[in-house]
Amino acid sequence: MKCSFCLLLIFVLTGLSGCTHAQKTANKEVLVVYLSRTGNTKVVAEMIHRQVGGAIVALELRQPYPENYRAIVEQVAEENRSGYLPPLKTTIDSMERYAVVFVGFPTWGMQLPPPIKSFLKQYDFAGKTIVPFNTNAGYGIGSSFQTLKELCPNSTVLEGFTMKGGVERDGIRLAIKGEVAQQAERKIKEWLRKIKVIKN
């Protein structure tokens, strides 16, 4: 009788242990952070958030960039040249709670935007899974994904997502809308399944 009870107890404890592990895996805290000027990266961030859940945060600067396109191009070029990191107005409470962090941004000057560098240097991402996503004017990611990896040496950086957005230089701002947005959502779902980071 005692042996039967012991076996039953072991079985129950083992089962509970398995459930706890499954819950931890399923309920990893997810954060989607993004920088968006023309709205394209914002649209992609919201699509990702709908699929993965968690929290979503837009990065804002203490001193916003100028609205004029030429002025921001010149300012960002100087920041990249000098290594200046613009201070962020946005703060993330309890960053340690997030196991998976999606980081979204446009390509600026074929590089990672300085505000994203500020964000990545402001927090400790050791042991976390980082997932980059990007919109661009058709020229691709440049060195942005590689720079992100270099700034997160103690993190697992998964395969990123990129797609063409607006071309602000030509006056085309929000481009991911209508049929393009529908196509983007399908591609995002495929990508999330491929990297195995999806809510359902």
What does the domain layout of the chain look like in residue ranges? 28-195
**Tally of CB atoms within 10 A around 138:** 11
Binning pLDDT at 50, 70 and 90, where does residue 10 land? very low
* Helix/strand/coil for 153: coil
Q: Is the dihedral of CA 55, 116, 136, 197 positive or negative?
A: negative
Residue 181, Cα to own-chain centre: how many angstroms? 18
Q: With 60 as the cut, is the pLDDT of residue 13 above it?
A: no
**Tally of CB atoms within 10 A around 29:** 14
Q: What is the mean pLDDT of the chain?
A: 88
Q: Is it true that domain 28-195 has CATH number 3.30.2290.10?
A: no
pLDDT at 121: 97
Q: Which two tokens stand for residue 60?
A: 């804002």
Helical ranges in 83-122 per DSSP H: 114-122
pLDDT at 199: 74
Of 135, 78, 137, 77, the residue nearest 109 (C-alpha): 77
Strand partners, 136: 164
Q: What percent of the chain has pLDDT over 70?
A: 86
Does residue 132 contact residue 144 with C-beta atoms inside 8 Å? yes
Q: With 70 as the cut, is the pLDDT of residue 27 above it?
A: no
Mean pLDDT of the 75-79 span:
98
* Helix/strand/coil for 90: coil
Of 99, 126, 127, 129, the residue nearest 28 (C-alpha): 99
Does residue 48 contact residue 54 with C-beta atoms inside 8 Å? no
Of 106, 105, 148, 107, the residue nearest 128 (C-alpha): 148
pLDDT at 6: 42
Greater confidence (18 vs 91) lies with: 91
Q: Which two tokens stand for residue 91?
A: 């703060």
Q: Which residues contact 191 (CB under 8 A, 6 or more apart)?
A: 159, 161
pLDDT at 200: 57
Q: With 80 as the cut, is the pLDDT of residue 60 above it?
A: yes
pLDDT at 28: 74
Mean pLDDT of the 128-144 span:
97
Q: Which of 22-26, 56-60, 79-83 has the lowest mean pLDDT?
A: 22-26
Of 136, 157, 161, 159, the residue nearest 148 (C-alpha): 157
